[in-house]
Amino acid sequence: MEYIKQRVRDIMDYPVKGVIFRDLTTVFKDPRALHIIGWDLAQLYRDKGVTKVCGIESRGFIGGSILAFELAAGFVPIRKPGKLPADTISASYDKEYGKDTIEIHRDAIGPDDVVVIHDDVLATGGTMAAAIDLIKSMKPKKIYVNFIIELSYLNGRDKLPDDVEITSLLSY
């Protein structure tokens, strides 16, 4: 993971003063780093019977798609409102800088599914908490959650339920 950590670009005062933005685009453009992330994410779930990987818009689509491919599972996007063409369900949540909503297709997850919800970074936890609520409402067998980076000093894990296994590849 040190190879990955060395490729994360820190952008000071973005999107607002006092914030250090952990930019993963520098990791994603490195073929070796991308391969390591895909392999390491997949190793966490190879023996768990995962049938669907849900990626949160938009950077969660990258790692989520790789993970779904590695596990021979389906990929399900969790998107901002109005981006999905069929019938959806939604959840609203508070962000660091306001309020937001996410949606998923109503028929995306079934009771026989074992689901991994993936996003690139765990910050304050609001987006992932909403995603977990959406997936739980669809009553899958099991839900796992993972991130590439966890900003542990923001305590985002505290907003997530105890009955969901949470993993992060890197922690700051």
| Residues assigned a catalytic role | 59, 96
Strand partners, 92: 101
Asked if 25 and 85 touch (Cβ cutoff 8 Å), the reply is no
The amino acid at residue 68 is A
What span, in angstroms and rounded, lies between the C-alpha atoms of 41 and 114?
16
Task: Tell me if 82 sits within 8 A of 89, measured CB to CB.
Answer: no
Q: Is the peptide bond before 58 cis (omega within 30 degrees of 0)?
A: yes
CB 136 within 8 A of CB 162: no
Helix (H, G, I), strand (E, B) or coil at 167: strand
DSSP state letters, 14-73: -SSTT-EEEE-HHHHT-HHHHHHHHHHHHHTTTTTT--EEEEETTTHHHHHHHHHHHHT-
